[in-house]
Amino acid sequence: MNQDDFLTKNIAGLTSALESVILNEELAHTRGLLQSLDPRVKLFTFVLLIFIVGLARNIWILGIILAFVSGLEFSTKIPPGFFIKRVLLFLPFTAIIALPALFITPGDPLMQIASRVIITTQGAHTAGFLLLRVMDSISLGMLLILTTPWNVILLSLRWFRLPAILIDILGMTYRYIFLFLHAANAMFLARRSRSLGTFSGSENRRWLTRMLGSTMAKSQHLSEEVYLAMLSRGYQGEIYSINRLQLHNRDYLWLGSIITMTVILIWSTYR
């Protein structure tokens, strides 16, 4: 791989990651159905729906939830291609896990080659059930993340009594991943603008190793400085937010609707 290919691919990847983070924040502040809900209600109902997905025994229930999620996605003004691409990103890993079920699950033949059963109907049902369950769960999680600012999600988690230290770690991790992505992007651009000719693959790997080591050293130094700055400003184990959460009529209506749908789905599953 020549220098241009090496640097171009890495710069493109880092820039794409930065743009994705920025776009996520913009989507969370657009005017949509889910964006207007109280984050605590949204978090509770989405976790409840994911719990129902995990309990579902009928594939049609998973289909109903997927159709419901698709309707919600259109009401949030999130670009469909942007949303679908992020959901499908995780499906290949699930497909690898589900693939053996096609061939090892006993049952009625669905596909035969030379009078030998290759795929059974029950195996196809099992694999499809797993894929649909994962797709539902990922879609719900993506909708929650894309329609809620990260700091508000953390505030809601703290309201549900998650440990303060865990909330602080999640908040700082998110903030400084963005910072170090920006720093790494700047380092790639600086190398490209100051380099003439091409480099071998081994030279590119050595440079990348040095860059990773430098970034780790910077992160260690910065973490110490940030912690000292927090202590000097009165940090005592918990970060407080200026955001104030308040329930409205639409939140009660949404909560009641989701609980009603949940009860119906549970009754349909276990009747």
User: At 165, is the secondary structure helix, strand, or coil?
Assistant: helix
Nearest Cα neighbor of 147 from 240, 46, 2, 256 is: 46
Would you place residue 137 in the very low, low, confident or very high pLDDT band (cuts 50, 70, 90)? very high
Closest of 1, 10, 4, 8 to residue 208, by C-alpha: 10
Pairing mode of beta strands 109-113, 116-120 = antiparallel
Number of domains in the chain: 1
The token pair that represents 68 in the structure block: 């419901």
pLDDT band at 256 (very low <50, low <70, confident <90, very high): very high
For 98, the domain range is 3-270
pLDDT digits (tens, 9 = 90+) for 49-87: 999 998 888 888 898 999 999 888 888 888 888 888 888
The pLDDT of residue 235 is 81
Q: CA 206, 207, 208, 210: dihedral to nearest 10 degrees?
A: 90
For residue 110 the two structure tokens come to 């669905």
Q: Which pTM was predicted?
A: 0.77
Q: Which of 49-58, 86-95, 128-137 has the lowest mean pLDDT?
A: 86-95
For tokens 């989701």, what's the residue? 258
Q: Which residues pair with 113 in a beta bridge?
A: 116
Q: Is the per-residue pLDDT at 15 higher than 80?
A: no
Exposure on the CB side of residue 114, measured as CA atoms within 13 A: 0
Residues 147-167 have pLDDT tens digits of: 988 888 888 988 898 888 888
